[in-house]
Amino acid sequence: MEQKSGLVITAHPGDFVWRAGGAIALHARKGYRMKIACLSYGERGESQFAWKQAGVKLEDVKAQRRDEAERAAAILGAEIEFFDAGDYPLRSSEAMLDRLVDIYREVKPAFVLTHSLHDPYNFDHPLATHLAQEARVIAQAAGHKPDPTRAYTAPPVFLFEPHQPEQCDYKPNVILNIDDVWETKRKAFEILAAQKHLWDYYTRVALNRGMQGGRNSGRAMTYGEAYQRLFPDIVEELK
Ligand SMILES: [Zn+2]
pLDDT in tens, 36-81: 999 999 999 988 888 888 899 999 999 999 999 999 999 999 999 9
What is the span of the domain harbouring residue 159?
A: 5-229
Residue 235 falls within a domain, yes or no? no
Residue 234 falls within a domain, yes or no? no
Q: Stretch 26-30: mean pLDDT, rounded?
A: 98
* Pair 206, 223: CB distance under 8 Å: yes
Please provide the DSSP assignment of 20-47 as one string. THHHHHHHHHTT-EEEEEE----TTTS-
Model confidence pLDDT, tens digit, residues 201-232: 999 999 999 999 999 999 999 999 999 999 99
Could you tell me the distance, in angstroms and rounded to a whole number, from the CA of residue 215 to the centre of ligand 1?
29
Could you tell me the distance, in angstroms and rounded to a whole number, from the CA of residue 53 to the centre of ligand 1?
22
Q: Which residues pair with 159 in a beta bridge?
A: 114, 228
Residue 236 falls within a domain, yes or no? no
Residue 160 confidence (pLDDT):
98
Residue 238 falls within a domain, yes or no? no
The pTM (predicted TM-score) of the whole model is: 0.97
Could you tell me the distance, in angstroms and rounded to a whole number, from the CA of residue 146 to the centre of ligand 1?
34
Residue 8 confidence (pLDDT):
98
Residue 2 confidence (pLDDT):
85
Residue 21 confidence (pLDDT):
98
* Pair 6, 36: CB distance under 8 Å: no
Residue 237 falls within a domain, yes or no? no
Residue 10 falls within a domain, yes or no? yes
Q: What CATH number is attached to the domain comprising 168?
A: 3.40.50.10320
Residue 43 falls within a domain, yes or no? yes
Residue 52 falls within a domain, yes or no? yes
pLDDT at 1 over 80: no
Model confidence pLDDT, tens digit, residues 99-134: 999 999 999 999 999 999 999 999 999 999 999 999
98 exposure class (CB count in 10 Å sphere: 0-12, 13-18, 19+): middle
Please state, in angstroms and rounded to a whole number, the distance separating the CA atoms of residues 54 and 83: 27
Number of domains in the chain: 1
Instruction: List the one residue out of 51, 48, 42 whose CA is nearest residue 15.
Output: 42
> CA of 208: how far to CAs of 57, 144, 215, in Å?
39, 43, 11
Could you tell me the distance, in angstroms and rounded to a whole number, from the CA of residue 143 to the centre of ligand 1?
33
Could you tell me the distance, in angstroms and rounded to a whole number, from the CA of residue 11 to the centre of ligand 1?
6
- Of the chain, the percentage scoring pLDDT greater than 70 comes to 100
